[in-house]
Every structure is written in C-alpha cells, then in structure tokens.
Amino acid sequence: MSTATSIAVDERGSAAESRRGFGAELGLIAWQVFYEQRAFWRNRRRALASLAFPLMFLLIFGAIVHGHIKSRGNVSFINFYVPGIIAYTVMALGFSTMALSLAMLRDKGVIKRIRATPMPWASYLAGIVLSMVVTVIVATILLLVVGIAFYGASLRISALPGLVATIALGTACFTSLGIAASRLIPKPDSGTPILMFVTLPLSFISEVFFPLEEAETLRHIGAFFPLNPLANGLAPAFDPHMTGAGFAAHDLRSLAIWTVVGCVLMVRSMRVLSAKD
Amino acid sequence: MSCQCQDARHFRGARVWPSFDGMANAIEVSGLRKRYDDVEALRGVSFQVGVGEVFCMLGPNGAGKTTCTEILEGHRLASSGTVSVLGHDPARGERALLERIGVVLQSCGIQEELTVGELLDMYGRYYPRSRSAEELIELVELDAKRDTSAGSLSGGQRRRLDLALGLVGDPDLIFLDEPTTGFDPHARRQAWSTIRSLCSLGKTVFLTTHFMDEAQHLADRVAVMVNGEIVASGPPQDLGGRGELPTEIRFALPEGLGLAALPALPDGAVVVEERDGILVKTQDGVRVTHALTGWALERGIQLHNLAVAQPTLEDVYLALTREGEMEKEIR
C-alpha cells in the first residue's frame, strides 16, 4: 500500500463520515430521546417530583372539593381541576424540570463532554426536549385517565384537536422559557427553591388550583403570565356545555406571544451555554 | 520518536496524513498565545506531535497546560498563533475533526443514571466508526460494573469509564488529561498498558500528567511548560540535557570518618556533605566510582547505601521549573 493510495482512501472515507444524512441525524436524535427517557424514569426522585405531585393534587382536590363553579358557566370542580392540573404539569416539566436539568448538565460538565464529541449540541438538546415532550404526553394521559375514571371528568372528544394543539403550544412556550431560565440558576442545588419561588405563587394566581372569583386584581396579574392562558385554553375541552373543536383563540394568542419571547431568550441563553472563551 | 511498532500504519483504522516534508504531524502549533484580561496564559508556544507519537506535556499547576490542551480540543479560542490538529483548525469545531479525536478530560460530568454499558452504547452512536461496549469494558476492566449506573462507581472506576468513553469513537488522536490521577498502582499499570497499546495501533496520544514516572514510562517526547512557555522538550532520557548532567554517587562513611578522610578524586568531581551521607557529582562516573571503591577496599571501609545514579526525570523537571519560577518572581 503506497502512501498516495492510503491518503486517497482516507479523504474519501472522512468526507462520507462527516456528512451524515438528515435521516441519520433524526435517528441519532431518536436514540438520544430513548436514553434520556431511560435516565429520566430511573431517577425516582425526579420522576416522582414531576409526576407524583400533580397526580396527588388531582387525587386530593378531586376527593375533597365538590360542586359547581358559577362564575365559569356552572362547570363542575373536577372539570376545572383536570385542565388546571394538566397546565400545572406542563409548566412543572417544561419549565422547572428543563431549567434544572440543563443547569445540572452545565454544572457537572456533561455539556462540555458532549461538545468534545461529534454529536451536535443542537441535536443533543433536541433529544432532551423531545424526551420531555414524551414525559408530558405520559403525564397528560395519566391525569386524564385518573380524572375521567375516578372522578367522572368529562372530556369532549370533538375538542381533542384543540386540546392537543394547546398542550403542544404550552409545552413549546414553557420549554423555551425553561431553557432560557437555566442560565439564571447559579448552582443546581439552589435551583429548586428559586424555581418554586416562581412557579408556586404563579400557580395560585393563575386559577389552576382554585378559581379566583373575588380577587379581581390577582386574576388580572395572573392572566398576564402564560400559565393562566394555558389552563383557560384547555378548559373548553372539559366543559360539557360548550361545542366546537376546543380552540380558545384569545388564550392561544397569549401563549404564542410568550412562546416567541421564550424562543428569543432561549437562543440568547444557548449562545451563552455554548460560548468559547 | 515514533512507536516501536512499524507495521502500525497498516492496521485497520490507522491513517497517514499528507505533509510537505514527508513527516506527518498530528498536531502543529506555532506562536500560540492566549490572553485572559491582563494575564498572558500562553506566551508564544510552538511544538509538533508526530503521528503515532506519545507526547507528554509537563508543568506545574497554572503553567498553561490546561489552556493549551483546551485550545487543541476546540474548547477555547487562541488569541494569536496557528494551531492545526489532524489538518483542521480546532476552533471551528468541525464534525470531521471531532469524529477523529477522543478526549479524556479531568472532572467532566456524565449522565449518572445510565449504566456503564448504556453510556458506552450511547456515546458510541455519536461516531461513524465506534468500538463496541463489550470490547471497551474488557479493555478498562469494568466487566463487573457493566450494569452499574455511572453515579455509583468509585473514583477510580469513573476514571476508567472516562478512558473508555475517550476511546469509544476509535480516535486517531486522543487527549488524556491526567489519566491516572486517583488510580491505585495496579490500575495505573493497566491504564499504561492500554495507552501503550493505542500507540501500537498507530494512534497519537497527547498526554498531560503530574507523575514523572508516567511520563518516563509512556512518552516518546516530553515538553515542560512553565509560565506559558515551553522551557525544554525532548525524549524523557535527554530532557534538559539530562544525558549530559553529572552522575551522582551517594554513600555514607562509617562513624568517625569525615570528608577529610576521602582520597583525592579525579578532576571536576564535586563533593557535598548531605544530612545522611555524602554526595559526589561528576562527569566521569566510572573513574570516580572506581577511585572511591578502590580506596574503601584498600582501607577495609564499608560505603553504606552506595548508589550511583543519573539524575531522574523528576530532578530535571524540578530544576527546570524552579528556574522558571525564579524568573517569574524577578519579573
């Protein structure tokens, strides 16, 4: 084997290797989703914190609160809780879990390790985000099953398209904000209290746990942030008196605006995460 | 300079890089400078690493080793100078380059929920040609830990997993940052033989270490960095003119005998009294040793703890870095 031929072989070989097809890239992301899911469910504490809490809220509220809400077209409490707690779960997973996971990956140097491999950072992040989407789907189905089977919540099948679209937009919104917020978490240890400080008060003023009938001002403040539009946007699917495909234009518009804001902040924060000095 | 195994280039996966003078270099660095605010961490560093060579960078903490390594890996950007790694500019982070290098960093995190086997599978998928998890697990002797999550490994086991992950893409060039820190003596020997075997496959190794015996054992060539400059480089046996340094003869005289009792020694021999004996430094080790032992035999005197030695790599290293530190203080 002469040197000249081995160089020729080498050049052809590396050109083929480095130009991966779009399909192969998607395959790589799919594998990443698989491994992220594995890691997610194996960490019992994290899985519990993000799934068991919403489930527990639904079980307890569903068991102790009965009756109907006059201010919301006389809908029963369980048909108010199910969309509210789904919205809360989307926020807990998309925003809190996402921000915390990324802060942890950054702090432990996993991002640095990934950047030393040929796996593009964007594909790796796509894997994490899509894995989170899978978790949101699992959690939503779980909450729907419990709400409908145990407490008789009513889901209008004709409103499914609106429900799916609203959850998808809400997930995009909170995930982009979560990725952006990961930059603001100095140490993963301090992340949980910081995030609680944001999400818990927001949940109380966003009408996910109870309706704010009297507190006009708080309701207006809550309506400014994305959690309340998400909960309200999901509500039509559970209101038996309503018709239509379950699209709440006003709430979807608020969510879309927040998604744009989230994406702008996310891109800026991703630049910082991957910057070289 | 290069590896003993001349057939290595014909091994599967071994490559030859084109170059103008026929000598293929895996790494070429010239005039490399790196400035952080008002500190200059690298002050004009130049060196080459040939294909198939084990190159070791030595230096005290804060000398600029890590900065230099991170620039070669593409984690940091150079302030000025040129850097070429396998013919690529590492700052551009090209996938074609990343597919051919392996990096074993110190203190780099891992997805701790996944097991050793899963991690090797997962990282293997990032590369176009990867080595199987089975093969790597055997290589770093983690057979018993295949299904253990990375978070429950001991420190030494984690470092072995790091080494396996650095090799998973079957790299042509591998960066090892203090690869055996925290290893027990047995594991170190094992890691050394793994690194040596990489060399016999035609791979190039860029190593940083604190251990002189490691450099001595593994490196074809050593460079000593002090204050952002390379102060000496060469094969470990000649580093800093080690081959020409005086031979050191140490012994202890029986009680009652002092320096005055010693015979006349050949010209140029320097006698120093140390705490636990006598040190003679000479360029002519054979004649001085002969004179001393002849004198002792004649008088029936025992020379306790007699030792004749060349300065070790550590002695040379300490001398080189001490000079550098003093220069820094003067400045």
Predicted complex ipTM: 0.85
CB atoms within 10 A of CB B101: 26
- The pLDDT score that the predictor gives to residue A273 is 73
Quick check: B76 and B148 in contact, CB under 8 A? no
- The pLDDT score that the predictor gives to residue B1 is 42
Contact B75 A276 (CB under 8 A): yes
Express each pLDDT in B247-297 by its tens digit: 889 999 888 888 888 888 888 888 888 888 889 989 888 999 999 999 999
d(CA A124, CA A21): 16
For residue B123, the chain A residue with the least C-alpha distance is A117
Express each pLDDT in A29-76 by its tens digit: 999 999 999 999 998 887 877 788 899 999 998 888 888 887 787 888
CB atoms within 10 A of CB B78: 22
Nearest to A132, CA basis, from A105, A180, A92? A92
d(CA B275, CA B262): 17
Nearest to B120, CA basis, from B98, B136, B101? B136
The DSSP code sequence of B120-139 is HHHHHTTSSS---HHHHHHH
Give the helix/strand (H/E) hosting B227: none
- The pLDDT score that the predictor gives to residue A132 is 95
Nearest to B310, CA basis, from B274, B273, B283? B283
SS3 B300: coil
d(CA B214, CA A142): 56
List residues of chain B with CB under 8 Å from any CB of chain A. Answer: 9-10, 15-18, 36, 73-77, 91, 93-96, 98-101, 103, 105, 107-114, 118, 122-123, 125-129, 149, 165, 169
SS3 A108: helix
Contacts of B91 (CB under 8 A, 6+ apart): A276, B71, B74, B77, B78, B83
Which one of B75, B98, B125 has the shortest CB-CB distance to A112? B75
SS3 A272: helix
Quick check: A176 and A170 in contact, CB under 8 A? no
- The pLDDT score that the predictor gives to residue A58 is 92
The residues that bridge with A36 in the sheet, in sequence order, are none
B208 min Cα distance to partner chain A (Å): 17
Tell me, what DSSP letter sits at residue B231?
Answer: E
What count of residues does chain B have?
331
- Inform me whether the pLDDT recorded for B19 exceeds 50: no
Mean pLDDT of all residues belonging to chain A: 87
Q: Band of the pLDDT at B6, cuts 50, 70, 90? A: very low
Mean pLDDT of all residues belonging to chain B: 85
d(CA B159, CA B104): 9
Contacts of B293 (CB under 8 A, 6+ apart): B303, B306
d(CA A25, CA A5): 31
Q: What CA–CA distances, in Å, run from A194 to A82, A149, A187?
A: 26, 36, 10
Contacts of A43 in chain B (CB under 8 A): 113
Residues above pLDDT 70, as percent of chain B: 91
Contacts of B149 in chain A (CB under 8 A): 42
Contacts of B101 in chain A (CB under 8 A): 116
Name the E strands within B130-246: 173-177, 204-208, 221-226, 229-234
Tokens of A42: 């194996």
Which one of A10, A112, A120 has the shortest CB-CB distance to B105? A112
Quick check: B297 and B263 in contact, CB under 8 A? no
Contact B109 A117 (CB under 8 A): no
Residue whose pair of structure tokens reads 């850097």 in the numeric block:
B83
Phi, psi of A103 (to 5 degrees): -60, -40
